[in-house]
Structure 1
Amino acid sequence: MEHSLSHVFAAQQERQHALRMTNAKERIAKLRRLKQAIAQYEDRLFEALQEDLRKNKQEAALTEVYFIYSEIDHAINKLESWMAKKRKAFTLTSFLSSNWIQYEPLGNALIIAPWNYPFQLSMSPLVSAIAAGCTAILKPSEYSPRTAAMMQRLIRETFPKEEVDCFLGEKEVAIELLKLPFHKIFFTGSPEVGKQVMKAGAEHLANITLELGGKSPVVIGPDADIYEAATKIAWGKLINAGQTCIAPDYLYLPEDAIFAFCQAYQAAINRMFAQADIMYPERYAKIINSRHKNRLEALLLDAQQRNAIILWEGKVNEEDSLPPSLIAGLSPDSKLMQEEIFGPILPIIPYKNLKEVITHIQAKPKPLAMYIFAKNNKFINQLTQACSSGSVCINDVLIQVSNPNLPFGGVNHSGLGSCHGFYGFKAFSHERAMMKQTRFSLSTLIYPPYQGKDRLFNLLKRWM
């Protein structure tokens, strides 16, 4: 079978040796070919994303397709400098030697992508793999089948299978792929599955990047503009119906600002996504499947059974949608406060002082993102210094991911490694230390025998 897993993997194992010899010009040509193919498939991709997630064309363009155009353009513009030698200083023991770092491709790469941004989160690591000179096998999520099928067609029409290929199917396909000795595994998904990927990768000591998730908190300071904060949080929470790994997960709010925030949040939703609290299906994505919707409804029910109060809830007319809601009075043991929500439910936790906010955040696993709305730099600095997260965005949400000059990634429970731009290139590369010794080498002075070299060793103690 031409596209069997074993056949393609063997072909890519062979091809990796030729790809490591490619220069920036050759890799850039492949990136341009990929961009051209995406442009030809653009309308079909929009249709697929509409069918899988009910993303409207504009949202799909901004968060999926145009995002990848930007990634490709950035890589094309910067690749030559990324591949160039990075000169490093010599030391006394390597006096006058030439020292540098050279990035070399890791080799054969496996990319396992999720369903929530199925095109962006498949193509972004693929751009990095191509830029780094790796072969790649892509496994998209089976939960977004139309987009996955479209990507497979695009990839197989654009690249030879010995360089890039795409395999569809249920989780069993991913399990089979993880048995193969890839040099690089790039996984995006939940921490639970990420642990399984890491265990599988350990069998072959693969280099692994895990882009996971977590409960990304939002903290609104006493001096924040509530209207502006509510508008941005509503957008960040409801784009893709909350099915975003860096979506605001829950909110810390000054006690006296709850009513004002609820009013501003509701108004913002009615401006952007709804009318009279009824969500527009052409602006508001669906929940990916009934299983995930049932999970979200169970989270709400669990919270209400623990005496939580729904402060506001929108309305939907579509069976595959879940209305946005604001909920308060949550028990710390409720599932809404223990699990990543990944939906349009926003818990509100009132606070009296910053210390209790910091204590609560520190008690949880480190999140993928943290959002702060405040003007006071002391307030901001206290939070960022005391609480760890993959990224921080101040006075906005989500947009940190759009800057390819910044690394994107989690820490501990929320991920391992970074991606985007140079950091994506680096994720698929080995940072190789290089040294070229001169004919005049001081290192021979430290060879045995050591008698009579006390002064030399005293000097080395000070300057080595």
Structure 2
Amino acid sequence: MNPEAEVAITEQEIQELVKNQRQYFRSNATLPVEFRIEQLEKFRDLIHRYEDELYAAIDKDFGKSKYHTQLTEIFPLFEELEIAIKNVRKWVKPRKVSTNLLNQPGKSYIVPEPLGVTLVIGAWNFPYNLSLVPVIGSMVAGNTTILKPSELPAETSRVMAKLINENFDPNYLRVVEGAIPETTALLNQRFDKIFFTGSPQVGRIVNQAAAPHLTNVTLELGGKNPALFAEDAAVDVGVKRLIWSKFVNSGQLCLAPDYVLVHKSIKDRVLERMVHEIKKHNYSVENKNFVRIINARNFDRVAALIDPDKVYYGGETNREERIIQPTVMHNVSVDDAVMQDEVFGPIIAVLEYETLDEAFEIIKSFEKPLAGYLFSNDKTTKQRFLSEIPFGSGAINDAVMQITNSNLPFGGVGNSGMGRYHGEYSFECFSHLKSILEKANFFESDLKYYGHSDTQMKWIRALS
């Protein structure tokens, strides 16, 4: 933690905070749409006001440029806020659905309602985006929220705490800084919703902590995301898009392609274009288009995955500066160290295949990934990829960019997570959709009442 941060919060203080937020929620203060809009607009204005501090903090933690922070952190926040402010009046309205004949005369509808007191546990790799976008979803749904940012990027944690804790009622919205003890104390409390972004290993711990309270949980995790280059792939533009998506944030991105399956007929060309694109961009911290690995522990883990005998390009490391240069490995097999877990760093492993069946078997030998990418224009190949390969979200002839469309839900499947958010899906993520049947009083059929006959049962079956 940042040594200048405030003294760690005690478990008793956390209990009191949760208790006060629950009382505030039960007062119905967060229910009115105008209140939600007012708080969202205030949040938007605060991000504008603190924008320079947000840039400075993340630069200290990562060496991340203002441009990349805008692109991957700040602009997505503004987009989510504008979508929420613009649409919340529509989202909170009851949603009419059809009513079956058995329940006529009557009407059916769905009423969205907030869940209550929520806990958002953010991730370190995109600390603003992955902490505050879920918070926006909780706010627009009408909940109270406690945010626990990752302690690894200490400066960004500090500035988020400053932005929120100095400007919002703690009974409504509060940041709790800290590390494992504070997170553990938070997870010991009963929440109505927990939203966690991080690794599958920690996701299991969060899920176990929520289970005794039967708390609704959304887990945004990760996995080994495949990128498959089919024989007909448009290599030049495909590799250009692939390289950007892999090395943005130095590969510390849960949606980044983790390994690349390349048809043997185009392997050499793909490798050459990879090196061309890397050299063209001249990735470096000095050029502000590359960032440091978050800490020494993660540096050591990622650097250990580099097999010098399989390096096609790159491979240089600097532990003191926590920098690993963009690295392409080839002649990789599924048994290599780089294929045993999610890389989460600037290393891309290239595997060769001959048939789609062979490539699909490799992908399916791993847990279901957060993302899957295909580079092909062949109709049959696209159809097979989408129907046979499970993954959370993906793209065809691109990578990562699906996250920029708020009309698409973002989330994992199986080991890569559960639940979804972004745009209206964030509202639904932090809401309960309450089903209602409303019956008229002027008529009541006797079909459902006792004294059943075969004829009655035939009518019930027909009307259901």
- TM-score of Structure 1 vs Structure 2, range by shorter chain: over 0.9
Which residue does the alignment assign to 1:143?
152
Aligned to 1:79: 88
Give the aligned partner of residue 313 of structure 2: 312
User: How far did 1:359 drift?
Assistant: 1.2
Maintained 8 Å contact 2:258/2:348:
yes
- TM-superposed CA distance for 1:88, in Å, is 1.2
Q: Structure 2 CA distance, aligned partners of 1:279 and 1:69?
A: 26
Q: Cα 1:273–1:157, aligned 2, differ >3 Å: closer, same or farther?
A: farther
Q: Which amino acid aligns with 1:458?
A: K
Pair 1:298-2:304 in alignment: yes
Distance 1:23 1:6 in 2: 26
Render the CA deviation track for 1:3-24: whole Å, top value 9, x for unaligned.
Answer: 9312211110101123476232
Q: Is the 8 A contact 2:141 2:430 kept in 1?
A: yes
Q: Secondary structure of 1:445's partner?
A: coil
Cα deviation code 1:324-372 (max 9, x no counterpart): 1111222322231120000010000111111111111112111000111
Q: Is the 8 A contact 1:65 1:119 kept in 2?
A: yes
Shift of 1:149: 0.5
**1:242 alignment partner AA:** G
Residue 330 of structure 1 aligns to a residue whose secondary structure is coil
Pairing partner for 1:160 from 164, 169, 176: 169
Which residue in 1 is equivalent to 2:3?
none
Q: Which residue matches 1:284? A: 290
Change (3 A) 1:416 1:441: farther
Q: Does structure 1 residue 227 correspond to structure 2 residue 236?
A: yes
* TM-score under structure 2 length normalisation: 0.94
Q: How much does 1:461 deviate?
A: 1.7
- 8 Å contact from structure 1 (residues 240, 284) kept in 2: yes
Separation in structure 2 between the aligned mates of residue 46 and residue 212 of structure 1, nearest angstrom? 26
> Offset at 1:440?
3.1
Provide the identity percentage. Answer: 33
Aligned length: 454
1:45 aligns with 2:45: no
* Corresponding residue number in structure 2 for 1:90: 99
Q: CA deviation at 1:253?
A: 0.6
Deviation of 1:94 (Å): 1.0
Q: For residue 358 of structure 1, what is the aligned residue in structure 2? A: 360
Task: Give me the whole-angstrom Cα distance separating, in 1, the residues matched to 2:199 and 2:236.
Answer: 32
Q: State the Cα distance separating 1:33 from its structure 2 match.
A: 0.3
Q: Which runs of 5+ in 1 are unaligned?
A: none
Aligned positions of 1:380-395 closer than 5 A: 380-395=382-397
CA root-mean-square deviation? 1.7
Deviations 1:378-400 (A, max 9, x none): 11111111101001211111110
After TM superposition, the structure 1 = structure 2 runs for residues 191-270 of structure 1, keeping only pairs within 5 Å, are 191-270=200-279
What is the aligned partner in structure 2 of residue 462 from structure 1? 462
Structure 1 residue 441, shift from structure 2 partner: 4.2
Matched residues in 2 for 1:19 and 1:133: separation?
9
Task: Determine the C-alpha separation between the residues in 2 that align with 1:312 and 1:344.
Answer: 12
TM-score, length basis structure 1 = 0.94
Match of 1:28 in 2: 37
Is the 8 Å Cα contact of residues 49 and 55 (structure 1) preserved in structure 2? yes
Cα distance in 1 for residues equivalent to 2:29 and 2:230: 50
What is the correspondence of 1:63-142 to structure 2 with a 5 Å cutoff? 63-142=72-151
- 1:456 is displaced (CA, Å) by 2.0
- Distance in 1, Cα, partners of 2:50 & 2:445: 59
Structure-1 separation of matches of 2:83 and 2:445: 43
Partner of 2:6: none
Question: Which amino acid is 2:362 matched to?
Answer: H
CA drift of 1:172 comes to: 1.2
Tell me, in whole angstroms, the C-alpha distance in 2 between the residues paired with 1:20 and 1:102: 18
SS, match of residue 209 in structure 1: strand
Instruction: Kindly provide the amino acid, as one letter, of the partner of residue 459 in structure 2.
Output: L
Q: Distance in 2 between matches of 1:153 and 1:35?
A: 15
**Counterpart Cα distance in 2 of 1:298 and 1:459:** 70
Change over 3 Å in CA distance of 1:334–1:290 after alignment to 2: same
